[in-house]
Amino acid sequence: MSTDDHSPSTSSSANSLVKRRTENRETEKKEESNDDNTINSNETRTLSIFSLSGFIRILSVPIKYFCKNLIDLIKFTWSLIGFNQPQNTDPLVDVSNFVQNFKNKYGENHPQFYHGSYSNAVLEAKRDLKFLLVYLHNNLHEETEEFCKQVLTHLEVINYIKRNNLICWACSIDLKEGYLVSKIMRESTYPFLALVALKNNRMIIAKKFEGRTSVEKLLSQLQKAIEENEASMISSRLERQQRSMDQLIRKQQDQDYLDSLRADQEKERKKKEERERKEREEQEKRRKEQEEIDHKDRFMKLKQELVDHVIAEPNSKSPDVIKLLIKFPNGKKVERKFLKTNSIKSLFYFVFCHSDSPLKFTIKTSYPARELPCSTPTPETRCVQSTDNKNEEAPTFEQFGIKNCEVLYVHDLEA
């Protein structure tokens, strides 16, 4: 009873249990499926978020670069069109201020900057046939600080500039001088360097160095630019040397010509002086001859006038007669009789009017030699005068001690 009565009930319970287990498994599978769907959905959402963020980050890089360059371009254009131009100052003051500020900020270790205006630097470079390295400083550019600290003040750069004997001129575009040079250079970005060289007798911008750079790159570019323009500089140097040589030759030729001209002029001057001297001598000679002629003429006229003062020769039988022998300078001898009471002047009138008498003379005794105290008549005095200071009147022959047959000598005072 117990086995047959309970069998349908047991079978029904077993079926119910199996059914509940099956439902439970389906429920668990559904839950697991829901969980998996939830996980997949979260992962997909997370991946989407990461993908969008990366895209935005990648896209921001060119936008940021574009915005930065746009700002720099606006600033540069703003400066080019002339807004906020620096005030007018002395170019030398601008350069000196920049050099001092550069030293204060970056130290003493830097290229030897040219102390002077840009135009003076260009003129000096042209005159000395040197390369001119121009640096324009922009305080607002983000690359300026790094360039100045790591490149421009680098020892290799400094030594290279010194070794190649470059003139290095620098100024800030914030200053008037730098601003004006910036308009000449027309730079597009910074840092900015330019190599200026002589070509066809004009200073030109041979090479521009713009933007971010390194020591090695800058020196390499500088060397290449110098080599490319060295031929022009050498040609200019040779041309200048040739011109200098030609000028020296012309100068020497001109000097030789001037020396020859001076020598010819000196010869001509001496000849002229000699001619003038001879002319003066000839004129002087003619003048003296004329004076002599006039002098003689005056004396001859005076002789003719004073003939009346010559006393007649006395009778030889008179006891007071003395006979004198008169010797003239030309050797002529003349005997003449006078009275011993006659004045010595009568002897002078006789001698003066004689044809062999000199114009001016004095008369002396033979021994002892005594000079008679009278003077020769002249056109001014027109008479014989006594030379005795004590007596205005001349003494007689007797008073002076002249005896008969005494010899008297006539001496020419103009001989």
pLDDT tens sequence across 370-407: 999 999 898 888 888 888 766 678 899 999 999 898 99
Q: Is the peptide bond before 329 cis (omega within 30 degrees of 0)?
A: no
- Cα–Cα distance, 325 to 395 (Å, whole number): 19
* Residue 6, pLDDT above cutoff 50: no
> What would the DSSP string read from start to end of 127-165?
HHT--EEEEEE-TT-TTHHHHIIIIIT-HHHHHHHHHTT
| Confidence label for 18 from pLDDT (cuts 50, 70 and 90) | very low
Judge contact between 316 and 404, C-beta under 8 A: no
Q: What is the mean pLDDT of residues 212-237?
A: 92
Helices assigned H by DSSP within 84-137: 91-106, 118-128
C-alpha to C-alpha distance for 205 and 195, rounded to whole angstroms: 6
More confident residue, 34 or 233: 233
Distance CA 13, CA 28 (A): 23
**Secondary structure (3-state) at 84:** coil
φ and ψ at 50, to 5 degrees?
Answer: -65, -40
Give residue 27's pLDDT.
63
The residue among 35 and 285 whose pLDDT is bigger is 285
Count of CB atoms situated within 10 Å of the CB of 250:
10
**Picking from 101-110, 155-164, 227-236, which range would have the lowest pLDDT averaged per residue?**
227-236
Distant-in-sequence, close-in-space partners of 379: CB < 8 Å, separation ≥ 6: 298, 299, 301, 302
**CA 138/CA 105 separation, integer angstroms:** 14
Pick the CATH number of 309-412 from 3.10.20.90, 1.10.510.10, 3.40.50.300, 3.30.2010.10: 3.10.20.90
C-beta atoms surrounding 376 within 10 Å: 20
Q: 414: pLDDT confidence band, cut at 50, 70 and 90?
A: confident
Mean pLDDT of 59-85: 57
Q: Which residue has the higher pLDDT, 33 or 383?
A: 383
Name the DSSP class of 370: -
At position 234, the amino acid (one-letter code) is: I
Confidence of residue 125 (pLDDT cuts 50, 70, 90): very high
Q: Which of 55-64, 188-197, 256-265 has the lowest mean pLDDT?
A: 55-64
- Parse the chain into domains and list their residue ranges: 91-244, 309-412
Tokens of 61: 């890089």
Rounded to 5 degrees, φ, ψ at 73 are: -65, -40
Distance CA 398, CA 105 (A): 128
Q: What is the pLDDT of residue 10?
A: 39
Q: What is the distance between the alpha carbons of residues 206 and 252, in angstroms, rounded to a whole number?
A: 38
Residue with tokens 């940021």: 64
Question: Of 40-54, 157-171, 201-215, 392-406, where does mean pLDDT reach its minimum?
Answer: 40-54
User: 91-244 has which CATH code?
Assistant: 3.40.30.10
* Paired tokens of 259: 């020396």
- Strand, helix or coil at 396? strand
